[in-house]
Amino acid sequence: MKTISTLAAILCIPGSLMAQPSGDEILDRIDSNMSSGSRHVISKMVIHGTRNTRTIESETWSVGDEKAYTEYLAPAREKGTKMLKLEDKLWIYSPGTDRTIQISGHMLRQSVMGSDLSYEDMMDDPELRKKYDAAVTGSEEINGTECWVLELTANSPDVAYQMRKIWVDKQRYLPLKEELYAKSGTLLKKTELYDIKKIGNRWYPGKIVFKDMLKKGDGTEFIVEEIEFNVDVPEHLLSKAALR
């Protein structure tokens, strides 16, 4: 009878308490979903400004978090603009002026075409496990989905956000909501992930909504139209020659 009572007591313990993974384990699972050796993405940004809404379409090829090439496809005003990231350097080519300029330092934090994304956001694809230490601080429900709540602290100075708070789907190990902070504790941005889809053996969002907390407007939707992982990236795109 004592054994039966003990077993019954164990079975009554919520599974989330029995099986709570460590912060590092959760980050590993997130990285396996969100990061890849290379990728090809066709996407659009819907920018909800204070006065109007604009949509910008683009195509991106990337290799890890070191190299990325983006070309803007529409609207006509932005078509032909290109961005190239090689490690910690970023260049932008403008067809209107036929000039290539390098973006560096504090300029990387500037808005991309009036959106809620900075150049850092657009070109950065870090593996969280390498850049942050994580602690599980609780469990909450987001839109009906049970999530682990994690607080991340940067272990390297070369990241855009020194602290992050993320709500991670317990089943799919995908962050459904995130808050991004400066080292001072100031909340800089919020993101929310929607339209979660199974792509191969990973879960990935069809839409990410960014809100820069330091600017006006109703945020920016980043919509993934097509995405391929671990693809062969044309070598000629990952050079400054491709910008012209």
What does the domain layout of the chain look like in residue ranges? 20-62+111-231
Low-confidence ranges of the chain (pLDDT < 50): 1-18
Q: Which is it for the CA torsion 113, 229, 166, 53, positive or negative?
A: positive
pTM comes to 0.87
CA dihedral 52, 114, 215, 89 (to 10 degrees): 170
- In this prediction, residue 11 carries a pLDDT of 47
* Strand bridging mode 175-181 / 89-94: unpaired
Top-tier CATH class for 20-62+111-231: mainly beta
Instruction: Compute the distance between CA of residue 160 and CA of residue 68 in angstroms, rounded to an integer.
Output: 17
Q: Which is it for the CA torsion 5, 7, 12, 17, positive or negative?
A: positive
Distances (CA, A) of 150 to 24, 124, 213, 227, 236: 10, 21, 20, 27, 40
- In this prediction, residue 121 carries a pLDDT of 87
For residues 122 and 115, is the Cβ–Cβ distance under 8 A?
Answer: no
- In this prediction, residue 22 carries a pLDDT of 95
Q: Give the contacts of 172 (CB within 8 A, at least 6 positions apart).
A: 33, 196, 203
SS3 191: strand
- In this prediction, residue 148 carries a pLDDT of 97
- In this prediction, residue 95 carries a pLDDT of 93
